[in-house]
Structure 1
Amino acid sequence: MNFFIKCLIGFLILVLASWVNNFLPGSWVIIIVLAIVAYFIIHEYNQLVNDKNMVKNAWSKIEVQLNRRADLIYNLVETVKGYAGHENKTLREVIEARSGLLNATTVPEMATSNKQVSDSLMSLFAIVEAYPDLKANENFLNLQNQLENTENLIASYRESYNNAVFTYNNSCEQFPSNVVAKMFNFNEADFFESDDESRMVPKVQF
């Protein structure tokens, strides 16, 4: 809440107090208490909105990278098909995992799907070892590097997102802001969990 709005609210409270006092002399104490309560509710509500928007903004950055990852995986699979098209099982698992990631709608679902994608990529890169020509393919190497960069960005944005969730959830849980959170239905956000060991794209060894 900016300074102008605070001043406006203060002015309106004083006008209301003056008006009420004309009808109920000596009611200043009650009015002051009510004004303090109103100010507290407004302040905590705006803080909750700010914290929630920080979570949304942080999550939007992760979503951009997850979508980019899905696009890179599609191109990667198409490249691998040209050299190892008969590896149907592994390729199918990668495509199914990618589809699960694109169809996920909640943070927990995306976290689970993201891990499944990482696991399927591990299997895909394992079979690449048997195809020297594929390992040396410029397009394949470029896609692999882009995937690794995307994974690093996801990891970085995940940390920022989880920090924002931690702050927001504390506001939803801790007194007295939790009272306002319940009044206006502010619900806790989900953390974006991940298996850091499985998320890294393995490097193809020559």
Structure 2
Amino acid sequence: MIVVGLTGGIGSGKTTVAKQFEALGVPVYIADKEAKKLMRTSKIIKRKLIQLFGESAYIDRNLNKSFIADTIFNDATYLKRMNAIIHPKVAQHFKRWIAKQNAAYVIKEVAILFENDGYKQCDYIITVTAPKTLRIKRLLKRDDTTLEKIEAIMRNQWPDEKKVKHSHYVINNIDLAETKKQVHQINRDILKKIQ
């Protein structure tokens, strides 16, 4: 099975692009969404996160996102340690998911595809980009967050220029109609390459 990694900085529009591939019939695995599910349902992950962050990591069996975000914001080593707990479980889950797919290729959407070496398991890589000011504007509108927190996340992600150098395709996500055209073109190109 051909795996196409889809990545991009926070606020670049990865989810928008993923939905457009889905509309073309391409199975899409959203790693962040699955990670959140596993943090809620996996007893092993839950136990390890409580060991890492303390009892405040969960409130009424739900992940205490704001507490964890604040902890990570104040000490980036927590992010590395949390990723070391979650990423192996997400990788196992992805393997089970991919075994059930029946398509020419699948999309694996991962925010930190390069940062966590996930790109090594991909046949092709698509990076979604957008100007930083636009990304910040989108995030302030979409999330209950601050400029300070957005910039802290951005500092933990590779810059676009570095991602682009390691990518097979780049989607500049500024105009939705243009983005859609780029998705269709990439889909045609990948299908051609696999045949």
Coarse TM-score class (shorter-chain normalised)? under 0.3
Give the structure-2-normalised TM-score. 0.27
Higher relative contact order (CA 8 A, sep 6+): 2
Kindly indicate which of the two structures has a greater share of residues assigned to helix: 1
Kindly indicate which of the two structures has a greater share of residues assigned to strand: 2
Larger radius of gyration: 1
Give the structure-1-normalised TM-score. 0.26
